[in-house]
Amino acid sequence: MEKKKRKKRNPYGLWVILFLILFGGGFCYYRENFSAGTITFSAAQSGTITHVRKVSAVFANQELPVKAPSSGTIQFVGKDGQRFRRGETLAAVLQNGASSGSNQSSPGSTVITADMGGLFFHQSDGLETIITSENIMSMDLEKLAAQTSKVKVPGQTVQAGEIVGKIVNNLLPTMAFLQLPSIDNLTVGKTIRLTAGNQTMDAQIMRKSEKPMGIIVQFPHYVDGSATERHQEITWNYAPQTSGVLVPISALWTQGEEQGVFISAEGVIHFKKVKVLDKNDQQACVDNLPVGIPVVTNPRNGLEGLIAR
């Protein structure tokens, strides 16, 4: 009998199988280690979404410059920014060798009294009679925007006629010109929410301007700091705020037709659908998400089911 010939094994098939095993193992290793290792997380937090924009403001109040009646050494009464009634003594100018301890009504001194009631500041900027709450509505706003403040604080010795300070009527509301990128959707008579320093208030729009672009507003009362720093950068709260659970704006991901975020639950990454209630450039306010849960901040395809590391 003839011996049966043995079939030779195809060496190429073994190489294909070996390649598939190595490729599959490498892919799994990459998926479980490299991909997961590049994922970053941030805990969902409770907070508030705000919509704010910094704008330049030029403030206007009713102000009255105070001049020295004579040359000499000036002595102020009270603190800088203190309120005085009309007719009260603001300061005294000592001359003819009078000592600083002399009585303010002595022959060697001249008394400065308040011509109107208000806050007396020991400084001036040269714009007290140029930019006022009385004339800002009729001013050429291009010229107003071009005005610069030159704050001057008197020295210990003053000259006759020198401006040594100003009185600001803090019983009248402050007005301001705000330079804006656009005045669309802003209406005269409506109010906008502004924050100046530590004060947040609703100011009424009094006038709109296209050149320069901006609006004139009237605050409900005197704005602290508006007399000593006429040009300021203030905050415009241009849309209502929303409070809730916040995630980084980068965490939002669209999967199919659903918007959501990738979360880590029991060490495994899953996609979770959420509803975006509000957002700004940095954060989004979402529902259907508990506070404190880890959220992927660099989402991409292929994260579902990965082990969070």
User: Within its chain, how far is the Cα of 191 from the centroid?
Assistant: 19
Residue 225 lies in a domain: no
Q: What value does the mean pLDDT of the chain take?
A: 89
19: in domain? no
Q: Tens of pLDDT along 59-91? A: 999 999 999 999 999 999 999 999 999 999 999
> Which domain, by its residues, includes 70?
63-131+147-171
In this prediction, residues 219-241 reach a mean pLDDT of: 96
Q: What percent of the chain has pLDDT over 70?
A: 85
Structure confidence at residue 38 (pLDDT): 86
Band (pLDDT 50/70/90 cuts) for residue 109 is: confident
pLDDT tens figures, 47-60: 999 999 999 999 99
Domain assignment present for 97: yes
User: Could you tell me if residue 304 is inside a domain?
Assistant: no
Asked whether residue 217 is assigned to any structural domain, the reply reads no
Quote the pLDDT of residue 27. 54
Whether the predicted model's global pTM rises above the 0.85 cut: no
Q: Give domain status of residue 86, yes or no.
A: yes
Q: Are 124 and 151 in contact (CB under 8 A)?
A: yes
The three-point CA angle 261-39-266 to 5° equals 65
The reported pLDDT for the residue numbered 99 is 55
pLDDT in tens, 244-283: 999 999 999 999 999 999 999 999 999 999 999 999 999 9
List the CATH number of the domain containing 102. Answer: 2.40.50.100
How many separate domains does the chain show? 1
